[in-house]
Amino acid sequence: MTRFQPDRGLTGRMVVTMFLLGLLYVAFVAVLIALGAQAITVMVIAVGFLLVQYFLSDRIALFAMHGREVSPQEAPELHGVIDRLSALADMPKPRVAIAESDVPNAFATGRNQKNAVVCVTTGLLRRLDRAELEGVLSHELSHVAHRDVAVMTIASFLGVLAGLITRFTLYSGLGRSRNNNQGPPIGLIILLVSGLVYAVSFLLTRLLSRYRELAADRAGALLTGQPSALASALTKVSGEIARIPTSDLRESQAFNAFFFVPALSGASIATLFATHPPLQRRLEQLARISAELGQR
C-alpha cells in the first residue's frame, strides 16, 4: 500500500482485461494444437517469451529507448525529486534512468515496486521546471503504485506473442495437418485466428491504457496537491512534441502506451485506437481536481 489514492475502477479494468486476455490466449493455443501444432512446443514458446518480457521488461525498455541508469551524483535534481515523491507516497524508490532524446517524455516500467525504473528524456529535463517535473514523475510513480505497469507489460506483449507463435508454427511446419489434401489451408486458418487474437488484444490494451492515464493524472495530482503543475507539464510537453520532426517521433512510437504523452497523436488517429485520452479531457479532469482542492 502507498499513499497514492487507490482507484477501484482501474483495478477492476485490469482484472477484467487480464481475464479476457487469458481466455483469448487459451483459445488461441487450443486452436494451434487442434490444427496439428505440438502442445509442448507451443506452450514452451508462449511461456518462455512471456517470462522474458515480464522479468526483463525494464531492461528491454531502457535498451530500446537508449536509456541508462544514473546515480545521485550524475543527476542530483532528478534523484532529489524522486526521493521526495517516494517518501511522500511511502513507496520504495525506483531506479532512475535518463534517455538521450530530444523528445520530451517519461515512462515507468518494471514488474513491481521493488523492480521498477522511472526514465525521463533529456528533452523533458531541459523543458520543465521543478514543479512540472514533480507533476510528471508523480504521474509515473502512480503507475508503479497501481501496478498497471506490470499489467500493461504483459497485456501489450501478448499481441506480439500471437505473431511470434504464428510465424514459428508456419515456418517450422508445425501447423500442417496430418492430411494436407483435405480441408482448408492450415496456414490460412492460423493467420486468420492470429489476426483476430491480435485485434482483440489491441483493443483491450488500448481501452485499459486510456483509463490508466487518467487514473495516473488524478493520483499524481492528489499526491502533490498541485494539479496545475501537472496540467502545465501536459500542455508544455504536448506543444513541444508537436515541434519535433516526425522521423524522430516514429523511433519512439512503439512505446506510446507507456509514455507520459504519446509520441504521435492527433485527429488523424481514431479515438478507439489511441493509447491516451485526448489532452483536453486530461486538462479538464485536472481543472476539476484543482477546484476541489481549492474548496477544502
Active site residues: 140
Grid cell in block for residue 143 = 503507475
Counting other chains too, the contacts that 166-174 makes at CB distance below 8 Å and 24 or more residues apart are 166/190, 166/191, 166/194, 168/45, 169/32, 169/37, 169/42, 174/32, 174/36, 174/37, 174/38, 174/41, 174/42
DSSP 256-282: GGGBSS-SS-STTS-GGG-SS--HHHH
**Calpha distance 5→2 (Å, rounded):** 8
The CA-based dihedral angle spanning residues 146, 262, 165, 195, taken in that order and rounded to the nearest 10 degrees: 110
In this structure, the strands spanning 67-69 and 106-109 are unpaired
> 208 is written with which cell numbers?
485499459
